[in-house]
Structure 1
Amino acid sequence: MSDRIIDSHIHLDMYSQKERVRVLSELELAKVEALICVSNHLKSSKETLRLAHDDSRIKPAFGFHPEQALPTDCEATELLSFIERNQEEMIAIGEVGLPYYLRQDNKEVSRDAYVELLEKLIQKAGALDKPIILHAIYEDAPIVCDLLEKYSIPDAHFHWFKGDLQTIERMAKNGYSISVTPDVVYEMEIQDIVRAYPLSHVMVETDGPWPFEGIFKGNMTHPGMIHQSIKKISELKNGSVEDVYSRIYDNTCRFYRL
């Protein structure tokens, strides 16, 4: 059985140096072929690029995570310039999106300015012909779909997606991809999404170093956890584990042009 996996969304730069060394040293043993490493802002993007220079298994994506204060105009311009300059080494633009959790904590946060920044990043993805990695859940997801449709962006990856059935159907119709974290093992909401979404557009991720509960509680988030996700997905899809491994691996390679 071929049980190769790719972590389609991890914040490797957010691990401690000791943790990063451990993760990278254990990838081969864990049968992890590559890490799609997303970035949170310009400084994070520069660090992710540095890590990629040191290890070819690290595939860097550059972006601005929306669950934080907006960058200044100057900072946003610098990030877009960095993306432009490093487009040949960049596998995707990401992580980008809209600030759902930030708005839950602070009702005074306006989504409009984040939409404007995201629109610029979506336009950049289209201009550079690069995939885009999105943080867009619940009521934010249809707004992001509107932008993707406006600029005819086909290669959209909604990481750790959560949302209603109508949005799921819209995303699937457009051929967008989603990725599933290890919480699929114990979260019914995620399990329902896996049942509803076509396997042809599903990937797996850790979103590390974000920690997980259930059987993973108390453990450092490691790409090897994805093997448990694959087994659960095969159960939810009533398919063989071998087929799910193969299809998800192929989905990820195709989407990220590996």
Structure 2
Amino acid sequence: MQEKSPSIPSIDSHIHLDQYDDDAIRQMMQSLPNHQVESIIAVSMNKDSCQRIELLSRQYPGLVYPAYGYHPEQPLPSRQQTSELLEWIESRMNQLVAVGEIGLPYYLRQELAAREEKLDEAGYIQLLEQYLQLAAKHDKPVVLHAVYEDADTVCQLLEEYRIRRAHFHWFKGSAATVKRMAQHGYHISFTPDIAYEPEIRELAALYPRELVMAETDGPWPFEGPFTGQSTHPRMTADVCREWAAIQGLSEYEARQILYANTCNFYQLNG
């Protein structure tokens, strides 16, 4: 007898919705129920991004949950720009589900090093601290871009600001860092590359089940079986399927866990 399709919905815990064009967003939102996607967490890049995400969350209530922040893989903003965005976010604390995307610029650092240029490490850490302070003040979770050695710095800051609800999206790092994050109860999320990246599959086998979510990081494109496809929240089903196989779970069990983890972390009405 063929197994019935899982009835537990999925949630895309990290997507850059504002980077899709209007037609793509409209089609995506209309198609979510057909793919058993209940909702998405839409993260922000900067003030323009925050403002568009705000509009989209109003246009699609219950489907789009906003997170506001400043993505670190960009030039440092001016003090005035930072102050304005922090004030803008603080005035909307009743709307957002998290502060993010924030973190440290690992890939920008690599690019600058290749050109024999130096990153303003202190400036980016100071910027991150301001957002962590805001999150701590209002007891909001944070969505983090922090991989490899940057994750250790971020863990230290999270401990200093006593932030427990931290979501390291698309995480990669050392065994020691993974252990530290798990011990503190920090969440991570897997993208569709769990289907073909050995490093990610190894992490998926090790990280505690209760601290895992699914994401797409759309519109970022994926390889392997997803080559040529436009990144869509429906791909969270593929993430779930692969994670279930790695964990030795049924797809139904995996969906239950990922759904509950995401609802609990972001305090959604799941």
SS at match of 1:106: helix
Cα offset, 1:3, TM superposition? 3.0
Which aligned pairs between 1:131-210 and structure 2 lie closer than 5 A?
131-210=141-220
CA distance in 1, matches of 2:81, 2:150: 24
- Sequence identity (%): 45
User: Letter of the aligned partner of 2:69 in structure 1?
Assistant: G
CA distance in 1, matches of 2:72, 2:229: 26
Which aligned pairs between 1:1-258 and structure 2 lie closer than 5 A?
1-56=6-61, 57-107=63-113, 108-258=118-268
SS at match of 2:33: coil
CA distance in 2, matches of 1:52, 1:187: 33
Q: Between Structure 1 and Structure 2, how many residues are aligned?
A: 258
CA distance in 2, matches of 1:175, 1:205: 18
CA distance in 2, matches of 1:106, 1:68: 12
Cα offset, 1:25, TM superposition? 1.0
Please list every run of 5 or more consecutive structure 1 residues that lacks an aligned counterpart in the other structure: none
After TM superposition, the runs of 4+ consecutive aligned structure 1 residues lying more than 4 A away are none
Aligned residues of 1:98 and 1:140 also touching (Cα < 8 A): yes
CA distance in 1, matches of 2:7, 2:247: 19
Normalising by structure 1, what TM-score?
Answer: 0.99
Cα offset, 1:241, TM superposition? 1.3
CA distance in 1, matches of 2:14, 2:81: 24
User: Letter of the aligned partner of 1:13 in structure 2?
Assistant: D
Please list every run of 5 or more consecutive structure 2 residues that lacks an aligned counterpart in the other structure: 1-5
CA distance in 1, matches of 2:8, 2:93: 31
CA distance in 1, matches of 2:238, 2:97: 26
Q: Pairwise CA RMSD of aligned residues?
A: 0.7
CA distance in 2, matches of 1:10, 1:47: 13
CA distance in 2, matches of 1:109, 1:18: 38
Cα offset, 1:71, TM superposition? 0.7
